[in-house]
Structure 1
């Protein structure tokens, strides 16, 4: 497949400034934004997921955001299918697609044109595996996975994402293939995208952590507690209620724990998440990194990012 669609991706950890930069760049380059955030897809989860407001969008269309009921599950395979359609539509109208977000698996799977098999899910087996994790711990599932797919077990051991560990075991049971085999086969199909990649980060990690802490404080001012209480007390899926910003406040609402302690836990978990995001994106040597704490103003960051995109679009 010949690469024929120009795209721009803007990635990086939470609170690094992706929203503002992407909107300003989209205005300059006649673009539209395709969100790559696994939690912003859900309706009614505005504050905790840092979903941009109408004012922040500033007239730029945003796709793949705020479209799914919170009680529905959504896979990376579904994301690739749906986001690809958005990109094709944006491109067909002569506009430049911007893929913006911090969910590395979404970004990489989309831009690398990863294909997924149409296997059916075994929900009963997934529940059985989740029960094992609750009773014996996540390490037990990693031991099970390592017996037939040591590569995936090693990869998942770092972030200990229970959903993906369960999926890797279930995938082998239902298809007879390992997730590692599936990933290798899926990358054989060329990507149709020529992508200029920009990553936002801070050279001084404490600067990023301070931004995260401030963001959490602002979220609380904007009504995070009220939103979290509504989400926690509703009949939502395991995935959505476990979003950072909700799960850390469950002890406050359910166990009368001290609010300040829960907020500090929320800040800590968000900082840890940012660290995992940085680790993920650092593996991509094609990303042009912008360390925002090395610039004196947003205007300087914007000017540099604009130059990177212009150069990338010119030379492909």
Structure 2
């Protein structure tokens, strides 16, 4: 089965490109974003609007309530089903998003969820006791020295994930994010990466945050602030605003945090895709004419059986 994946950092035009390619090549779109699965979180996740969809069917958007959890394993199962459905209709599946682990676990045969997991209750309890005594920051530092790959992706407030990562590394000798054996590729996939110059990218991210505020970001964040421990509340663009609602920071300070964390996340996204996938990169922000190159490359790939 043939699958297109459009990847890259936030604010580089992945959504608009996906719509154009879907129209051009009879495609349907699967969201590969870990936050767009949540109903009601539209602005802070830069979710595609019904108008922007231009009639193109989209999958894995608005499939969870904001108090429910969602994992890479959940995505992997649902997205593979969507690829099957789209292909059986004679259409081209187009996966678009910036969550690297989701895209990678979909296109390659990664074992996620309960299958093949290793567990050790005594190890887990040891790390839980360490965290209770020394705090999350000390636990994160331990993770950083043990498994820097996992530490880069796991926030120090997420104690459960840190403990799980330490447990897996001690039992297997490998990062929880990097299986021992390189998994096989499941699809004939064509990876398109979008990026632009860093100064331009950061400016676009800052402008996007300001626009989100005008569109109603604060209302979305204030609702989540009432349940700050749910998974959705940990999303960038939301959690940074909680101190503002509790009176511990000004709105300007909170928004600066949103912009800072968004820029840092964009940098991490680029690092992931550059290091882990063979991606053809384009800059449609400064060179919109490159869409012709993309369409030509896709057409050539589609002809190749």
TM-score (norm 1): 0.84
Residue segments in structure 2 that go unaligned for 5+ positions in a row: none
Q: CA deviation at 1:245?
A: 1.0
Q: CA deviation at 1:313?
A: 2.2
Q: Cα–Cα, structure 1 residues 261 and 129, in superposed 2: closer, same or farther, change >3 Å?
A: same
Q: Cα–Cα, structure 1 residues 39 and 22, in superposed 2: closer, same or farther, change >3 Å?
A: same
Q: CA deviation at 1:294?
A: 4.0
Q: CA deviation at 1:105?
A: 0.4
Matched, 1:305 2:294: yes
TM-score (norm 2): 0.87
Partner of 2:204: 211
- Distance in 2 of aligned mates of 1:131 and 1:37: 33
State the Cα RMSD in Å: 2.9
- Distance in 2 of aligned mates of 1:275 and 1:72: 28
Q: Cα–Cα, structure 1 residues 46 and 179, in superposed 2: closer, same or farther, change >3 Å?
A: farther
- Distance in 2 of aligned mates of 1:226 and 1:122: 42
Of 73, 81, 84 in structure 2, the residue corresponding to residue 85 of structure 1 is 81
Partner of 1:167: 164
Of 206, 231, 256 in structure 2, the residue corresponding to residue 239 of structure 1 is 231
Q: CA deviation at 1:82?
A: 1.3
Q: CA deviation at 1:222?
A: 0.6
Partner of 1:275: 267
Matched, 1:58 2:57: no
- Distance in 2 of aligned mates of 1:218 and 1:167: 37
Of 228, 243, 250 in structure 2, the residue corresponding to residue 251 of structure 1 is 243
Partner of 2:37: 41
Whether the 8 Å CA contact 1:33–1:97 is kept in 2: the answer is: yes
Q: How does 1:71-150 map to 2 (within 5 A)?
A: 71-116=67-112, 117-118=114-115, 119=117, 129=128, 132=131, 135-143=134-142, 150=146
Q: Cα–Cα, structure 1 residues 120 and 28, in superposed 2: closer, same or farther, change >3 Å?
A: same
Per-residue displacement from partner, 1:254-278 (whole Å, max 9, x unpaired)? 1252111111111111111111111
Name the SS for the 1:22 alignment partner: helix
Per-residue displacement from partner, 1:189-235 (whole Å, max 9, x unpaired)? x3330011100000x211011111111111011111111111212x3
Name the SS for the 2:28 alignment partner: strand
- Distance in 2 of aligned mates of 1:30 and 1:184: 35
Residue segments in structure 1 that go unaligned for 5+ positions in a row: none
The total of aligned residue pairs comes to 299
